[in-house]
Structure 1
């Protein structure tokens, strides 16, 4: 290598050190086996605009080319949200252009910066392409150019005929934009693009955006480039129309009044089924009246709050209705919550009373307990409340380490049910499940979808929600017609359904998927069994702060083939916007934060005015909730969901904030620092906690977490670190956090019995990773610490049944989570089964014996 090449190579090493990958949005994920197929799109820059750009650029060499590049980078900034932009050149030689748009750059200043970038790159373009790739050693991804994914340049010919560098496997840039002479003073914008990744309409919109930015730049060259809006008038009008809430629905009524109307219409219909308990609408109303009478003695009324801490029985439904009858709002508290979290909710909300079983251990605090077993035989009055009065408070995870209460009035729920009437047509022939915890707002939809329409609500016991086999049987036995599920729970149900030959016996007419990103594979498998028409499968995106549901999308095979997580259109009375980090409308096809307005928006957070002001923002006479979720408009006006824009994530349908888990970790005396991230596949996300500290052991730390957090918030892995890695800016370097590893160490105890060895193989098959194999699972290993979750745990039941011909209860897996302890439960169940068989044989043997013979057989004892 010559000295010149050595100096140039050193330049590129320095110039591209820590260069970010350009995250240009694609219409489809990069395939594992790219086809290499490409297509082309073109637009023309009018001669008048070209002349104005030339005048703006001035007469210096390369300034006009720099102006063309500057406009393109402004558009890339809006499409990616990135300021540090790396693009390639379209000409021969290894030219990579890295330009930073940070600061309040004017377009004129950006042109100067781009000119310097182009000239510097041109002065160091003599390094052979292969040498540069070897020196920089980028990660090889099939079909991806090794140095840049987007290229730009000025050439004599459009892409396809221009000579450009490709990667070692012949990979071209994903997108290559070239400016060519179009004659008559105009210029052509030509784009060559990978059809594996992009649809043509996205690329033509991109070219239109570039031309729009050129036009706005010549009008305002000394304004910050952030003000150069790439959206044309037509696209802005389209976005406004898609996001407008076009309808209104009467909502000035209380939920209990509407329920009472239904009682008068169908008093003898079964309203609630809970095991062997069946209540008609009249009986349910009377039971709610007794709850209201008991609360009235405590002077509970409009404006008060009452907690509901009841198991999933008919009493739970009765309790909620009784609270609403008094005019108070209910605060659901899951009885399975840790005492610390429960105590916070009760203290923070300031409830006037708590509906709880007499033998349930409530946290200290002097709360007035109301037992459902101690109700007067009288009816409480029906309070005169309306749509603006509070109906419930639901606590969601808080980034400050404490849950926060969302305040929802009656009218929000009333308009939700009316806004979706034309889609669902609920009536008194429907059977719904109350599958979800009352502390999860999906339960609101389940509850009122039945009780406002005369349908029957089947209350599903907790352990049946964790046993897909038993739940599938419940669906068949109760002839359920309307089912709401998280995608994670639905995936387990689909697996059970596939093992049943009698799939047609289900009575479902609609399945609603809620709570987290869609799992397309499970929906396709369901379609293979049941088709797409009955039941209809609907994906509904929702937020607690905007009253359960925001969007609606009927799913089909065709839709899932082109969109990973479609959430569809907003409910007809809900205006929505998709905006970038600066609050500007995101172009069609570009990811942005979803903002939701209209009558669904809650009152905010109880006692948290500053947080409420940050998350609920005024805009053009409306009040919008900043969801923190990333979505984008598709070209047909529907929305696609990507995920959380911040650290807040959803695990098995529960929305959590990682900061709350980190706070719980650092509350332990032996922990000095901690960070929590999500690892694993999209369909099986796992929480991993990275912990700094020497004064703790993992067993004690897990007990500490279990006392403060729900089970779904306890990390599957806890990794001990000397220090949390930081970036140069002092932020947590999440990419530098090591993958959790399950190592065989000095304390490893191999499985000893045949049962333990068989169970280890069962676990390995369920966990399904190269890292967790049967020979690496020890007798004292904990299924959940190996990465298992509560839904995977239910798969153990069916596999143990196949292997040992015995039945486990789901509860046993949670209370005996180590290999040796669960194997002991299996051995005990096998012994009991054998003992029962021996007893049956003995009974048969002695059935015909005389008393004297029996006396002799038993040993002759008196």
Structure 2
């Protein structure tokens, strides 16, 4: 069995002068990356860091972050990525819950010490990735070297990675996919190109950046990948392989597409990827999640733990080398989710799938209240716990809905006397952006089943709620409807902006697309921004000659 460090160090020895990483600061060779990692390892060893230690790393996506992760691994310790965009309260919880120390922020001195080379073993812990928790608190998933190394080798083989290839790095540092992007590229001797923050969440700009960098392999989280495929943004200079995952894929490449599309599935508990399907251009959507990757197994079982027949939905259990060690400091939860079935250790995913006639797995849904938002796992129970903690909220619920084009959104439902916008701001100080509901719906009471449990299916669709905004301008009213239909935000007045209502760059693209579809006229990409008030956006759109003409034609139509 191999380790992540052994895979990377083999490439360092083979081609120390080859380019390893390209980021905003410049170019880093494999030799330079290794020397910096060894300096960091020396600093850590001097602080008694070694096997069994967990080191928190809070550095933005860059060559410095990768060198620090590698330096931690060289001591036989594990790294805990801390995303600096997360609220301080959540970062403090992750540090207290994990006991990780020290916290590296990129300011480690180059003290010139030589670290005593630690022998890293396959069953050593490589990293801890925090995910949303159903109890209201996030939990840390422990991944060993053997699990991650197996995924890296599969990924390199599936994408055809070889020395000199160019690989994009787009995932957030706290997202498990980031490790797959980074270590698979370096283990293959490829160049890792770090996408700037300004483009990594905007699919059109990201595709343009990838074309300029002539990338061979690019990962895009599902909502971004869907927009890129649908709009042909990859066609000018496509990567050899586009990989995606995180949510249900609902599109396929057009016939004749010049790139391969791999639809990957896998919880963090199974080292990023557990199954994969290559999507045939022009095939019927939605695509399946495929077959288990090399070294993985998949069981589809009923409520009694017995295999189901092909075509019958059942719960997916993943086995094989990729299954993680469990949850950090949570033995009871580990015992509940990491089980033994058919003589092997498996992870109970909670995902419902069915096995097709061709043997591929097809995603059906969830057996619990877990959802995916922008590829991140979100436990509705954690969102609800934070909503109930607000001093003006007496009861709360959360749900997911899809206002447009497969873009999942969170909705919060709260009982009490409160300002919905203030509640959103309050949540934003405590939860990552992907866990803050796009809209908070005031409720007199929550709908209940005859058994007095929450009837989540009876919660009102936010897109169908009556408009309470005091808008008198016809153009503003129409645009407010576009905002709601495209990304689920509810306008309260002409001074509201998309950014203030919780929308992001992907939502702005959806708004622009909806306006263009409604008016049958193009909307310049740089015309609208997230920070513009509704009134300003409406005025800019009204002044566009193409939209004026479209509106005139519409009035003259019989």
With normalisation by structure 1, the TM-score equals 0.58
Matches of 1:685 and 1:779, distance apart in 2: 26
| C-alpha RMSD over aligned residues | 3.0
Pick from 663, 668, 679: which aligns with 2:390?
668
- Quick one: structure 1 residues 643 and 425, their matched pair in 2 at CA, closer, same or farther if it must change by over 3 Å? same
Shift of residue 620 of structure 1? 3.5
Matches of 2:123 and 2:110, distance apart in 1: 29
Match of 1:748 in 2: 470
Q: Determine if the alignment matches structure 1 residue 519 to structure 2 residue 250.
A: yes
Match of 1:465 in 2: 200
Match of 2:260 in 1: 536
The one-character-per-residue Cα deviations of 1:372-430 (angstroms, maximum 9, x if unpaired) are 5x333444333111100000000010000010000001111112233455433311131
Shift of residue 783 of structure 1? 2.6
Match of 2:237 in 1: 505
Shift of residue 738 of structure 1? 2.2
Q: Determine if the alignment matches structure 1 residue 292 to structure 2 residue 23.
A: no
**SS of equivalent to 2:290:** strand
The one-character-per-residue Cα deviations of 1:288-328 (angstroms, maximum 9, x if unpaired) are 11211222222211211111111122211111111111211
Pick from 556, 573, 578: which aligns with 2:280?
556
Shift of residue 468 of structure 1? 2.7
Flag structure 1 segments of 5+ consecutive residues without an equivalent: 1-250, 358-370, 828-862
- Are 2:170 and 2:178, in contact at CA under 8 Å, matched by a contact in 1? yes
Matches of 1:685 and 1:659, distance apart in 2: 17
**SS of equivalent to 2:34:** helix
Match of 1:233 in 2: none
Shift of residue 535 of structure 1? 1.5
Match of 1:264 in 2: 13
Matches of 1:476 and 1:650, distance apart in 2: 29
Matches of 1:763 and 1:276, distance apart in 2: 41
The one-character-per-residue Cα deviations of 1:491-537 (angstroms, maximum 9, x if unpaired) are 23335644x8xx3433x1111111111122xx33xx25xx24x4211
Matches of 1:620 and 1:743, distance apart in 2: 53
Q: Determine if the alignment matches structure 1 residue 728 to structure 2 residue 450.
A: yes
Q: How does 1:362-511 map to 2 (within 5 A)?
A: 371-372=107-108, 374-420=109-155, 422-494=157-229, 497-498=232-233, 503-506=235-238, 508-511=239-242
- Comparing both chains, which one has the higher relative contact order based on Cα–Cα distances under 8 Å and sequence gaps of 6 or more? 2
Q: Determine if the alignment matches structure 1 residue 615 to structure 2 residue 337.
A: yes
- Quick one: structure 1 residues 290 and 512, their matched pair in 2 at CA, closer, same or farther if it must change by over 3 Å? same
Q: How does 1:761-840 map to 2 (within 5 A)?
A: 764-765=481-482, 768=485, 778-783=493-498, 788=503, 790-794=505-509, 813=530, 816=531, 818-819=533-534
- Quick one: structure 1 residues 817 and 377, their matched pair in 2 at CA, closer, same or farther if it must change by over 3 Å? farther
- Are 1:485 and 1:513, in contact at CA under 8 Å, matched by a contact in 2? yes
Matches of 1:618 and 1:806, distance apart in 2: 54
Shift of residue 614 of structure 1? 0.5
- Are 2:156 and 2:185, in contact at CA under 8 Å, matched by a contact in 1? no
Match of 1:683 in 2: 406
Matches of 2:525 and 2:146, distance apart in 1: 53
- Quick one: structure 1 residues 587 and 806, their matched pair in 2 at CA, closer, same or farther if it must change by over 3 Å? closer
Match of 2:270 in 1: 546
**SS of equivalent to 2:208:** helix
- Total equivalences in the alignment: 535
Q: Determine if the alignment matches structure 1 residue 708 to structure 2 residue 414.
A: no
Larger strand percent: 2
Match of 1:737 in 2: 459
- Quick one: structure 1 residues 603 and 568, their matched pair in 2 at CA, closer, same or farther if it must change by over 3 Å? same
Match of 1:646 in 2: 368
Matches of 1:640 and 1:804, distance apart in 2: 38
Larger helix percent: 1
Match of 2:553 in 1: none
Shift of residue 822 of structure 1? 7.3
- Quick one: structure 1 residues 609 and 586, their matched pair in 2 at CA, closer, same or farther if it must change by over 3 Å? same
The one-character-per-residue Cα deviations of 1:626-648 (angstroms, maximum 9, x if unpaired) are 00001111112111112222100
Of structures 1 and 2, the larger Rg is shown by 1
**SS of equivalent to 2:329:** coil
- Quick one: structure 1 residues 744 and 628, their matched pair in 2 at CA, closer, same or farther if it must change by over 3 Å? closer
- Quick one: structure 1 residues 796 and 286, their matched pair in 2 at CA, closer, same or farther if it must change by over 3 Å? farther
The one-character-per-residue Cα deviations of 1:637-685 (angstroms, maximum 9, x if unpaired) are 1111122221001011111100000001011111111111112257022
Matches of 1:547 and 1:318, distance apart in 2: 21
**SS of equivalent to 1:632:** strand
- Quick one: structure 1 residues 667 and 819, their matched pair in 2 at CA, closer, same or farther if it must change by over 3 Å? same
Shift of residue 547 of structure 1? 0.7
- Quick one: structure 1 residues 701 and 767, their matched pair in 2 at CA, closer, same or farther if it must change by over 3 Å? closer
**SS of equivalent to 1:783:** coil
Matches of 2:532 and 2:76, distance apart in 1: 44
Shift of residue 749 of structure 1? 4.5
Q: Determine if the alignment matches structure 1 residue 328 to structure 2 residue 77.
A: yes
**SS of equivalent to 1:395:** strand
Give the stretch that moved more between structures: 721-730 or 330-339: 721-730
